[in-house]
A and B are shown apart, each in its own frame.
Chain A
């Protein structure tokens, strides 16, 4: 009768295994300390260029920072006689003499518009609509270390909402020229940073009849804040993936081999473990290497899907895991996923909602990087309803899960009461199983808690600018790599500990020495379709 390795492993071996896994875990955290913060931002003050021919619709007309006529908006003289449609706000990305590296993965642009109050003007509406005519061009380094000519990348006229408030109290007695406090406006998101240089030409077209940009006040400055991943972080991250990918594949092969040696069809939990391993392997697959040579603008959506599939599988695994240890096996036939359809449908619905939301936002961004689902009321409602639906299914899922876990623990404590009446060997055996089951439950709870805590910490550590400016530590990267490593280690441990026992195969490479005293198997119980003696124990005691 096969049990799982977890039950048959002696305390000493278990502690050795746990030590090894913990070492990996700590190594993952320490590796993160080498890395810089996951992403950095760069603020760019746009240059204001004059377009003498705004009617010209030629798309490949680019204004760069060295455009012939530049104006300063704060200087009234320099804008005299100019039309709002004449002005082009130019930002060359990145700043200075640098160029983007493909390791920097993706680019996000956020718009900051500084407006000031003008004497005698009516105060602006708190929420105003902006119409932005935005064009992106790219350029690469050529052989002579120069730049290739700017090439069209994307163009769109988009709407955005901007919130502006005016603090009348702090403006004291002189309101003229006092700034509005306007919010940031997300402008674009590039899924791949394939080219070396990008150029943004932004216009705020004015049209009274079409109601475009009619509610603005006096503009002082337009800033673009760009956010990109850090090359160093990506390198460390990809290195971690490259390291874990073969390991997880190896463990899966070993696991499946163990299952197939048995003369039975694999149990549900074994299928679940294999699929969990597979989704982790898919998540670990270092596809990022491909972005170094190909333009893969769908990389963001792909990594969203990869993570989503992994989380969905992890949640389903927990559910099935708890269900399979419910200790009430009232029917002898093989368990199947059908038993869990109610519980699993919450995950399916939740993930499906998030997928649709993701496809609506990032899918469209593949075509138009300036697209945002949040600008139209319909889009906002749609996005919100999907997110709320996902949230509801997540809560139902957690209620299900907590209920099941509570039931498992109640059953265990009930069965514990029966334990003293058993023989010494059997009692020790079952106590060991229950202990190890609890141990793994504890591990899951710890992992989940650590994830939540590190999430909170990484949010807080962003406020680290008030710390010593020469601080060398970058905590948020270490937290990310630590958590990522933790789930890898967790799933590796699950695959190893829940693999069928080596008992009948003494030449197993993992636990090949039989010198430790192991609890003798009880010959009387169990059927071939039960994978763990805990469940068989449950079946037996429930008959009592």
Chain B
């Protein structure tokens, strides 16, 4: 009897070891007892990424522990570049937008231990970035046959893989890039798949990211018909710069709501409910665990103004300093810089705030 117990314990340890190998430590005891596989978002934001300058497909091999994503990455031409860009865009826009927040979009490894407010945010941000980049790559023509993957009407299909033939293009033209991007994002992040509660809630946040990209798009219509009148009217979507999406998500970060772990308020939505909810403009980010107190990390951080310092420094007070900085000034649009704005450098006295 004791022998069997011994064996069983060994087997469990062995299993855990196998699962864990190369994936870091799983500390998420709250959510799942077993060791947890890292998600794509966690991997892309936390694992060190070598540069794949010559071979963009290298990232597909780098993703090999995620069978689903690396498979897609290898199969579809152009997706590897998007994955690379997703990481860059997510990190850049996150750190840029959160430089005066208590959580400066750093310590990413730490936030993936549980489902914090920050975890939910980066999850939805990554999903948005991915979808936005897919839609953009479609418009640039760098992703394999995307816009024509779903022609409205006869040739539409529920899968992201259906290609429109030349005949289909001649008959009904190409479909909408956003719809394709949404479908590919759902497929890539497996947003429809049901998992444990933590995974479900992260996927829900991913869906919020998708919805925000969809909502950020502007519909533009053009009349063309008899003498340019509106007998025919064709509409198309206009992709907004990603800054708009980040701003929107940032405000959701602040209004995120906590779902208590023992009270299962949240359940996965079915197709119809999702559509109903898509119209609802107030979908919020949701998280499970109260995050770490970021106040302890704000000592010495720079803050912007009195209002910002009050929150950022957690009431510890501000250290004021005067300094002279060289700042761009007298900016104007100039010929010799290829549609860039050129500024002169001026000296400017400035008050700098730092948290104590």
Residue of B nearest to A108 (CB): B224
Question: Does any Cβ of B come within 8 Å of A506's Cβ?
Answer: no
Residue of B nearest to A374 (CB): B228
Are B233 and A459 touching (Cβ within 8 A)? Answer: yes
Are B328 and A357 touching (Cβ within 8 A)? Answer: no
Are A43 and B234 touching (Cβ within 8 A)? Answer: no
B-chain residues with CB within 8 Å of residue A354 when the two chains form the complex: 227
Are B227 and A45 touching (Cβ within 8 A)? Answer: no
Other-chain residue from B139, B247, B339 in contact with A219 (beta carbon distance below 8 A): B339
Are A43 and B328 touching (Cβ within 8 A)? Answer: no
Are A96 and B338 touching (Cβ within 8 A)? Answer: no
Question: At the interface, is chain B mostly helix, strand, loop or mixed?
Answer: mixed
A residues 79-126 touching B (CB-CB < 8 Å): 79-80, 82-87, 92, 94-99, 101, 103-104, 108, 110, 112, 114, 116, 118-121
A-chain residues with CB within 8 Å of residue B279 when the two chains form the complex: 466
User: How far is B97's CA from A230's CA once the two chains are assembled, in angstroms?
Assistant: 43
Are A119 and B171 touching (Cβ within 8 A)? Answer: no
A-chain residues with CB within 8 Å of residue B174 when the two chains form the complex: 40, 42, 94-95, 98
| Per-position binary interface string of chain B over residues 305-343, scored 1 when its CB falls under 8 Å from any chain A CB and 0 otherwise | 000100000000000000000011111110111111101
Residue of A nearest to B343 (CB): A120
Other-chain residue from A96, A186, A308 in contact with B145 (beta carbon distance below 8 A): A96
Rounded to whole Å, the gap between the CB of B150 and the closest CB of chain A is 7
Question: Does any Cβ of A come within 8 Å of B170's Cβ?
Answer: yes
With A120-B328, A170-B247, A230-B172 given, is the CB distance from A96 to B234 under 8 Å?
Answer: no
| Per-position binary interface string of chain B over residues 164-190, scored 1 when its CB falls under 8 Å from any chain A CB and 0 otherwise | 001001111110110100000000000
* Interface range on chain B (Cβ under 8 Å from partner): 35 or more
Question: Does any Cβ of B come within 8 Å of A268's Cβ?
Answer: no
A-chain residues with CB within 8 Å of residue B192 when the two chains form the complex: none
Q: Please choose the segment from B152-160, B255-263, B291-299 that sits at the chain A interface, where 4 or more of its residues have CB less than 8 A away.
A: B152-160
How many A residues touch B, CB cutoff 8 Å?
Answer: 95
Are A65 and B150 touching (Cβ within 8 A)? Answer: no
Other-chain residue from A36, A114, A118, A466 in contact with B152 (beta carbon distance below 8 A): A36
Are B173 and A230 touching (Cβ within 8 A)? Answer: yes
Q: Please choose the segment from A208-216, A255-263, A341-349 that sits at the chain B interface, where 4 or more of its residues have CB less than 8 A away.
A: A208-216
User: How far is B340's CA from A302's CA once the two chains are assembled, in angstroms?
Assistant: 45
With A230-B173, A463-B235 given, is the CB distance from A179 to B228 under 8 Å?
Answer: no
Are B331 and A472 touching (Cβ within 8 A)? Answer: no
Are A36 and B153 touching (Cβ within 8 A)? Answer: yes
Question: Does any Cβ of A come within 8 Å of B71's Cβ?
Answer: no
| Per-position binary interface string of chain A over residues 31-62, scored 1 when its CB falls under 8 Å from any chain B CB and 0 otherwise | 00000111111111101000000000000000
Are B227 and A171 touching (Cβ within 8 A)? Answer: no
Are B148 and A96 touching (Cβ within 8 A)? Answer: yes
A-chain residues with CB within 8 Å of residue B337 when the two chains form the complex: 79-80, 82, 84
Are A216 and B333 touching (Cβ within 8 A)? Answer: yes
Question: Does any Cβ of A come within 8 Å of B221's Cβ?
Answer: yes
Are B335 and A208 touching (Cβ within 8 A)? Answer: yes
Question: Does any Cβ of B come within 8 Å of A358's Cβ?
Answer: yes
B-chain residues with CB within 8 Å of residue A179 when the two chains form the complex: 240-241, 243-244
Rounded to whole Å, the gap between the CB of B145 and the closest CB of chain A is 6
Are A86 and B338 touching (Cβ within 8 A)? Answer: yes
Are A43 and B333 touching (Cβ within 8 A)? Answer: no
B residues 71-99 touching A (CB-CB < 8 Å): 96-97
Q: Please choose the segment from A154-162, A220-228, A413-421 that sits at the chain B interface, where 4 or more of its residues have CB less than 8 A away.
A: A220-228
Rounded to whole Å, the gap between the CB of B53 and the closest CB of chain A is 15
User: How far is B346's CA from A120's CA once the two chains are assembled, in angstroms?
Assistant: 12
User: How far is B225's CA from A354's CA once the two chains are assembled, in angstroms?
Assistant: 13
Are B236 and A43 touching (Cβ within 8 A)? Answer: yes
Residue of B nearest to A167 (CB): B244
Residue of A nearest to B143 (CB): A96
Are A36 and B172 touching (Cβ within 8 A)? Answer: yes
Residue of A nearest to B224 (CB): A108
Question: Does any Cβ of A come within 8 Å of B64's Cβ?
Answer: no
A-chain residues with CB within 8 Å of residue B171 when the two chains form the complex: 36, 230-232, 235
Question: Does any Cβ of B come within 8 Å of A458's Cβ?
Answer: yes
User: How far is B329's CA from A215's CA once the two chains are assembled, in angstroms?
Assistant: 17
Question: Does any Cβ of B come within 8 Å of A174's Cβ?
Answer: yes
A-chain residues with CB within 8 Å of residue B304 when the two chains form the complex: 173
User: How far is B138's CA from A172's CA once the two chains are assembled, in angstroms?
Assistant: 30
With A84-B337, A108-B224, A231-B171 given, is the CB distance from A220 to B241 under 8 Å?
Answer: yes
B residues 85-139 touching A (CB-CB < 8 Å): 96-97, 100, 136, 138-139
Question: Does any Cβ of B come within 8 Å of A184's Cβ?
Answer: yes
User: How far is B65's CA from A533's CA once the two chains are assembled, in angstroms?
Assistant: 90
Rounded to whole Å, the gap between the CB of A212 and the closest CB of chain B is 10
Residue of A nearest to B308 (CB): A173
Are A121 and B341 touching (Cβ within 8 A)? Answer: yes
Question: Does any Cβ of A come within 8 Å of B10's Cβ?
Answer: no
Are B220 and A44 touching (Cβ within 8 A)? Answer: no
Other-chain residue from B232, B247, B343 in contact with A172 (beta carbon distance below 8 A): B247
A-chain residues with CB within 8 Å of residue B340 when the two chains form the complex: 76, 79, 218
The 24 listed contacts between A and B (C-beta, < 8 Å) are A36-B172, A37-B172, A37-B234, A41-B222, A45-B136, A79-B337, A84-B335, A84-B337, A95-B141, A98-B174, A101-B170, A110-B220, A174-B97, A179-B240, A216-B339, A223-B139, A225-B236, A227-B224, A235-B171, A304-B227, A462-B234, A465-B237, A471-B152, A474-B153
The list of the 3 closest CB pairs from A to B, nearest first, reads: A40-B173, A36-B172, A232-B171
Chain B interfacial positions (CB closer than 8 Å to A): 96-97, 100, 136, 138-141, 145, 147-148, 150-154, 156, 158, 166, 169-174, 176-177, 179, 219-222, 224, 226-228, 230-241, 243-244, 247, 275, 279, 304, 308, 327-333, 335-341, 343
